[in-house]
Amino acid sequence: MQTEKGMEGKRISSWMTFLLASACGLIVANLYYAQTLVGPISADTGLSSAAAGLIVTLTQIGYVVGLLFIVPLSDIIENRRLAVISLIVVVAALIGAAFAANAPLFLIASLFIGLGSVVAQILVPYATYLASEEQRGRVVGNVMSGLLLGIMFARPVASFIASFWGWQAVFALSAVVITLLTVLLWRILPERKPSPAINYGELLVSLVVLLRQTPILRRRALYQACLFGAFSLFWTTVPLRLADEFQMSQQGIALFALAGVGGAIAAPIAGRLADKGLTRLLTGLAMLIAALSFVLAYLFQTHSTTALGLLVLAAIMLDMAVSGNLVLGQRAIYSLGSAARGRLNGLFMSIFFIGGAVGSSLGGWSYAHGGWNLTTLIGIVLPLVALLYYFTEKRSLART
């Protein structure tokens, strides 16, 4: 078994980076499969339309709980074992979802899918332990590309599979894939044993201390919360606009969602440029691009092919901004030290994921009450709030 000191500073192989990137993408996709399947799932499980939102909300709640109470365990428990146990929970929950005969069973399964899927946020900092300092930004960027591709492909893949074999097949197939992945990770990943100086209770208390005493963590988390809120607002409402204004079918919307995958290319690029000391510049650029994507969506609201093409461009721009800034934020907090890396990552992810949940809620409300106009105006405001906060950043806090 390798200790903390034994692993830190080694160079990670391209194969191991690819494995961890693929694993993160396949795992985190489980959080998003249900988003485009809410209608058929609700119909088959007897869930009312008013309560259908619980399908996504409970998955998000499970994820945030896992970020706060499971991810920090990676600072005191052997990481490979923790990852495998969490994946076993995911597999069981996916099987439960696939065979759920009623709404309560499916909702409980959804909660545990979110809870166990936080293993992706154990594997991302795990990759940094295997990487040397000079390759850390590149490794984080590549692994996060896999994670982001999982997020972006999950919706269209779920729609396509469900259109042929039903929504149950989505969860059943994912259960098979995650089972194979669990065996592979158990056999290939090197063990990583932390050298904890505190117990679990002290670990949880230390989360509050870390948040209070780490200004760069608070800042990067709030930056990403604003951008991810805008991202969630967009992807919650754009399917509604595509169906209402362009009369797109479910498969047409799935094809549109594929366009956003192009934005994932920003993650490895941002990681490489951050390694060259450009974190601060790229952070401001990401916020500007996110705001401009909504300006584009606001200005061109006709039903023409041109307007649809520009909406695709807006989606790509927004996804690039969010994925790029995510890598910048994670690289910055991972540079704070290795002893608390799991806790730092858990706090960072939980804060910005809450921002995403707020963005989803705002999207549903704004589209219902003000249509696409109000939605895009809110989308412009969110990254601009982050930009205003960015201008207060002292250069001494910018991790370059």
Neighbours of 91 (CB within 10 A): 19
**Amino acid 10: pLDDT:** 62
**Amino acid 72: pLDDT:** 83
Query: With contact defined as beta carbons under 8 Å apart, do 154 and 29 qualify?
Result: yes
Using pLDDT thresholds of 50, 70 and 90, give the confidence band for residue 400: very low
| pLDDT higher than 70, residue 4 | no
What is the 3-state secondary structure of 225-274? HHHHHHHHHHHHHHHHHHHHHHCCCHHHHHHHHHHHHHHHHHHHHHHHHH
- Annotation: CATH topology of 206-394: Growth Hormone; Chain: A; (1.20.1250)
| pLDDT higher than 50, residue 308 | yes
Element holding 16 (H helix, E strand):
helix 14-28
Helix 250-259 to helix 215-246 angle (10° resolution) is 140
User: Mean pLDDT highest for which of 151-165, 243-257, 331-345?
Assistant: 151-165
Residue 207 CA to residue 202 CA, distance in Å, equals 9
Q: What is the pTM of this model?
A: 0.78
Greater model confidence, 316 or 134: 316
Extract the tokens encoding 129: 């332990």
Stretch 237-259: mean pLDDT:
80
Greater model confidence, 135 or 3: 135
Q: What is the pLDDT of residues 39-53, one digit of tens each?
A: 678 788 887 655 665
Lowest-pLDDT range of 219-228, 242-251, 322-331: 242-251
Half-sphere exposure of residue 291: CA atoms within 13 angstroms, side-chain side:
16
| pLDDT higher than 60, residue 398 | no
Q: What is the pLDDT of residues 220-231, one digit of tens each?
A: 999 999 999 998
Query: With contact defined as beta carbons under 8 Å apart, do 252 and 163 qualify?
Result: no
**Amino acid 248: pLDDT:** 82
Using pLDDT thresholds of 50, 70 and 90, give the confidence band for residue 374: very high
Query: With contact defined as beta carbons under 8 Å apart, do 33 and 154 qualify?
Result: yes
Helix 54-69 to helix 103-116 angle (10° resolution) is 30
Give the burial class of 235: count Cβ atoms within 10 A of its Cβ; 0-12 exposed, 13-18 middle, 19 or more buried: buried
Task: Tell me how far apart the terminal alpha carbons of the chain are, to the nearest angstrom.
Answer: 33
Stretch 155-171: mean pLDDT:
89
Only one residue has tokens 């989505």, namely 170
**Amino acid 93: pLDDT:** 97
Only one residue has tokens 């490895």, namely 268
| pLDDT higher than 90, residue 369 | no
Greater model confidence, 338 or 247: 247
Give the burial class of 295: count Cβ atoms within 10 A of its Cβ; 0-12 exposed, 13-18 middle, 19 or more buried: middle
Compute CA distances 364 → 6, 62, 375, whole Å.
Answer: 49, 21, 9
The residue type at 222: L
Stretch 379-397: mean pLDDT:
86
Using pLDDT thresholds of 50, 70 and 90, give the confidence band for residue 338: low
**Amino acid 49: pLDDT:** 53
Query: With contact defined as beta carbons under 8 Å apart, do 155 and 257 qualify?
Result: yes
Using pLDDT thresholds of 50, 70 and 90, give the confidence band for residue 183: very high
Greater model confidence, 188 or 369: 188
**Amino acid 111: pLDDT:** 93
Residue 148 CA to residue 21 CA, distance in Å, equals 9
Stretch 302-318: mean pLDDT:
90
Only one residue has tokens 């545990």, namely 112
The residue type at 393: E
| pLDDT higher than 60, residue 235 | yes
Stretch 173-200: mean pLDDT:
88
**Amino acid 391: pLDDT:** 93
Using pLDDT thresholds of 50, 70 and 90, give the confidence band for residue 399: very low
* Eight-state DSSP code of residue 54: H
What average pLDDT is seen over the chain? 85
Residue 121 CA to residue 98 CA, distance in Å, equals 25
The residue type at 198: I
Closest of 352, 311, 310 to residue 328, by C-alpha: 352
- Where are the alpha helices (H) located in 260-340, listed in sequence order? 266-275, 279-299, 305-334
**Amino acid 83: pLDDT:** 94
* Eight-state DSSP code of residue 189: S
- Annotation: CATH topology of 1-196: Growth Hormone; Chain: A; (1.20.1250)
- Do the first three CATH levels of 1-196 and 206-394 match, i.e. the same topology? yes
Query: What residue spans define the domains of the chain?
Result: 1-196, 206-394
Query: With contact defined as beta carbons under 8 Å apart, do 158 and 281 qualify?
Result: no
